[in-house]
Amino acid sequence: MAVHGIRPEHVANAPRWEGIWHEVAGLLEGATVVAHNASFDMGVLRSTLASHGFGHPTFQYFCSVSMAKKVWPGFPKYDLKTLCFRNGIPLVHHRAGNDAEATARLVLRASGTQRFPDMTSFLLNTGVKVGAFYAGGHRTPGGKITSVMAVR
């Protein structure tokens, strides 16, 4: 609550994970996903899917921290707040929608430093490692493959 300001009464009537997962999976399927400090977010997603016995959608992902280090080497810090400040991107930190929008703007700013026809070309040309989720497993951006074990 101290970080994001969300209190129990704010989510008391919110749908549970089971009720929204299929919609979320549809958004992820076949997509390229970015997250700031992606290893944390993808770890939470893997654990949550495993605890509910849900399979993985197929998508690739990359970390905007790793991307920023490739595009803007030598910065003393690569946290979202600092990168947004350095790039003139507004941020209301630790608010999910605003953090996501700011991360997307960082990626657009970084990819705009050179001309690339698409995100895949940008990631390949800058050397940003890409991880993936797929039916039955997960590959980290470093290439480590893990498999999913059904919980139920």
- Hey, what CATH topology would domain 8-147 get? Nucleotidyltransferase; domain 5 (3.30.420)
Task: Write the CB contacts of 38 (distance below 8 Å, at least 6 apart in sequence).
Answer: 61, 62, 63, 64, 65, 66, 131, 141
Pull the structure tokens for residue 85.
């400040």
Cα–Cα dist 78/95, whole Å: 18
3-state secondary structure of 117: coil
Q: pTM, whole model, 2 decimals?
A: 0.85
**pLDDT tens, 12-39?**
999 999 999 999 999 999 999 999 999 9
| CA angle in degrees (0–180, nearest 5) for 61-29-32 | 25
Pull the structure tokens for residue 39.
């290893």
Query: SS3 string of 90-108?
Result: CCCCCCHHHHHHHHHHHHH
**pLDDT tens, 62-106?**
999 999 999 999 999 999 999 999 999 998 876 777 899 999 999
Q: Where are the domains of the chain?
A: 8-147
Average pLDDT, the chain: 87
Task: Write the CB contacts of 21 (distance below 8 Å, at least 6 apart in sequence).
Answer: 52, 54
Strands 137-139 and 145-147: antiparallel
Residues 88/54, Cβ–Cβ less than 8 Å: no
